[in-house]
Amino acid sequence: MLWLLFAVNALGTVYGYIWYWQQIEYTIDNHPLWRVIFVPDSPTASLFFTLSLLYLLFPVLNKQTNALIWIRPLIEALAVVTSLKYGIWAVTMIVAGAAQGDQLEWEHYMLIVSHLGMAIEGLLFVRFMVFGRLAAFIAFLWLLWNDSIDYTYGVFPWLPNVLEDDLNAVQTFTIGLSVFSLLMTWLFLRLRKV
């Protein structure tokens, strides 16, 4: 089951970077190169989750003698917090666009299902992960930094045209969703101990 989940997430990550490729190229052509890392939000979240599955698939990576043992909690925290946020964010933007007249295609429905899966799997796997509240807070800081770069420099994920005039509301929702993702992660960390 874990191998299937790993394969699905790995393929979804590749697909996500392909989905963002046009915006990545646009950002490279029109912005300083360092802003590119802030463009592909969902596939990067999926990448963190895919990497976190490696700790479950290969227990040898869990040895305390590993010099990079500190990185596991950070990867897992980023996997959960970002998967929850961007899973919900993408679904919300697709539905909000449709509510304002954006024409949905088959790909939109696939994205809704896959992004809901991202949000759910992140929370379901908290109980198998080793990260704590501090690592989750560091992941939250990454989200806020990403939000700041996205809306300060205009490298946020491209929105349906019908939502362009709602950019302030989208920005507020996005930042609020970062806070929500941290709080939900902390809640599930607390439930893990029960």
pLDDT of residue 67 exceeding 90, the answer is no
pLDDT at 194: 60
Q: Mean pLDDT, to the nearest integer, of 148-156?
A: 96
pLDDT at 70: 77
Which tokens go with 85? 């946020």
pLDDT at 189: 94
pLDDT at 59: 75
> Considering the chain, what is the average pLDDT of its residues?
93
Collect all residues with Cβ–Cβ distance below 8 Å to 13 and sequence separation of at least 6.
Answer: 43, 46, 47, 50
pLDDT at 68: 60
pLDDT of residue 137 exceeding 60, the answer is yes
pLDDT of residue 75 exceeding 90, the answer is yes
Tokens 């929370």 found at: 123
Q: Where are the domains of the chain?
A: 2-192
How many angstroms separate the CA atoms of 68 and 12, rounded? 26
Give 78-109 pLDDT, tens digit per residue. Answer: 999 999 999 999 999 999 999 999 999 999 99
